[in-house]
Amino acid sequence: MSMNPLFHSVGVVQSAAKDLKKLKQATEKIEGMFLKDLLTEMRKTAQHKAFGDSTGSGIYEDLMDQTMAENLSKGGSLGMGKMLYKQFSREALQQAETRIRQAAQASKQMEATASKEQSLNK
């Protein structure tokens, strides 16, 4: 019995959708990490400390930088995450398309083999 390429295609599309969602989250995190490092380095050059010079001020500044970076990356302020997503999503979609084509081709080959076997058995 041959594999139905439609069912396989649906599975591939669902898998690709999950992968694209994960990719979106990962590219936002990459932009967030970059922004965090950027904010931290920028803060080093500032004359004024946001939380003063107390012992714990560095922790609060780090938390503030992290929160700002996360919020900025979710908004796509730099566009770096969007650019990475666009590039990598093309590859993911091309891979999914290739898997669908391979499944359809395999299905056709299986049907042709089954048809030949039936004609030989007659």
Q: What is the pTM of this model?
A: 0.67
Buried b / exposed e along 94-119 (16+ C-beta atoms within 10 A):
eebeebbeebeeebeeeeeeeeeeee
Count of helices and strands (H, E) across the chain: 3, 0
69: helix, coil or strand?
Answer: helix
Q: How far is CA 27 from the centre of its chain?
A: 6
Residue 79 inside a domain? The answer is yes
pLDDT over 90 percentage in the chain: 24
Residue 122 inside a domain? The answer is no
pLDDT tens digits along 84-96: 999 999 988 888 8
> How confident is the model over 95-110, as a mean pLDDT?
83
Domain membership of residue 113 as a residue range: 5-117
Q: Confirm if 33 and 84 have CB atoms less than 8 A apart.
A: no
pLDDT tens digits along 37-50: 999 898 888 877 77
Confidence tier at 4 by pLDDT (50, 70, 90): low
Instruction: Report d(CA 41, CA 15) in Å as an integer.
Output: 39
Q: Confirm if 3 and 100 have CB atoms less than 8 A apart.
A: no
Note the pLDDT of residue 35. Answer: 92
Higher pLDDT, 2 or 6: 6
Residue 5 has pLDDT above 70, yes or no: no
> How confident is the model over 54-59, as a mean pLDDT?
83
Number of domains observed in the structure of the chain: 1
**Average pLDDT score over the chain:** 83
Note the pLDDT of residue 1. Answer: 43
